[in-house]
Amino acid sequence: LVCTIRFVGIGPLRCHYLSDLHLESQGFDARLPKGDVLIIAGDLCHARCLDPAHTDKYSVDQRDRVLRFTDRAAASFAHVLLIAGNHDHYDGVFDETTGLFRRHLPGVTVLDNEAVEIAGVRFFGTTLWSDFEGRSAASLSGTRRRMGEYFFVKMRSRDAEGGETLAKFRPEDALQAFDASWQALRRCLAEKCAMPTVVVTHHAPSRQGLNPAFAGNGLDGAYASDLEGAIAGLTNVPFWVHGHTHIRRRYRIGATTVLTNCRGFEGKDVSARSFNPDTFFDVAPTSCTALTGGLAASPP
């Protein structure tokens, strides 16, 4: 079965992409280019600060930096797409982050395990999280003690009497979020007739996306999953954008080009020197065909 959709008068979409601006602790005043789509692949800020109810100086200053940036982005691009990264949940409640972004960032489309279609191209966005090196007990244990989200993020739960309470976000919660993201992406890509799909995640889908300065330090499982076997079978995902690892890199998995352009922390990350807000790719809204495969039910 072949389904063909023709878009008259529509050329390739120019998509700029960046991530890890970390506006919770630093400004970003670099000139923004003009384009069709700006993809922000997570770690924009601490989303909690966007609620005007928080009037402390830290929240007010951070909110000003974020709104100044998103206003400039909306003026420069026809579409601004955002997904949450791990840091976006910091100082807040896991379940509330997406809602805060949607309520307080006008002109920004927030994607959370879902897709949006723009001029014949579909963009699927999700944090993704990670599978902790194939659900390794050692990886789960090691990240629990060393990743900030397990200290600074809360999650709604139920106490013994059934009442709502707040508990620490755990690696097991992140693994559950990974499973939900994976299933949502599978459903999206398994549709019988699909436009070219650009996948946007915060966490890396391959060890090729790890920062070589930190690879092998015991935290690889918190930054990347080995999804190469599944991605290699895809034919309708020309680009996959991720963040999180504070590098700028381009690599291939099968027919998919994987891209990352992380800013990181200026003055702290050497890799931040390669960050370039002018980085882009062009994707053509050409005809689309039925999938021959899709993603496997479980990651390899």
Residue 262, domain member (yes or no):
yes
Query: Of 12, 18, 33, 8, which Cα lies nearest the Cα of 118?
Result: 12
Residue 224, domain member (yes or no):
yes
pLDDT digits (tens, 9 = 90+) for 140-160: 999 999 999 999 999 998 777
Residue 231, domain member (yes or no):
yes
Residue 4, domain member (yes or no):
no
Report how far residue 173's alpha carbon sits from residue 179's, in angstroms, rounded to the nearest whole number.
Answer: 10
Sites in the chain below the pLDDT cut of 50:
1-9, 287-300
List the structure tokens of 268.
């702290």
The domain spanning residue 155 has which CATH number? Answer: 3.60.21.10
Residue 7, domain member (yes or no):
no
What is the tally of structural domains in the chain? 1
pTM score:
0.91
C-alpha R_g of the chain: 19
Report how far residue 93's alpha carbon sits from residue 105's, in angstroms, rounded to the nearest whole number.
Answer: 18
CB–CB of 248/260 below 8 Å?
A: yes
pLDDT of residue 193: 53
Measured from the Cβ of residue 282, the count of other Cβ atoms closer than 10 Å reads 13
Residue 300, domain member (yes or no):
no
Provide the residue range defining the domain that includes 36: 13-283
Residue 133, domain member (yes or no):
yes
Query: Residue 109: in which H helix or E strand, if any?
Result: strand 109-110
Residue 298, domain member (yes or no):
no
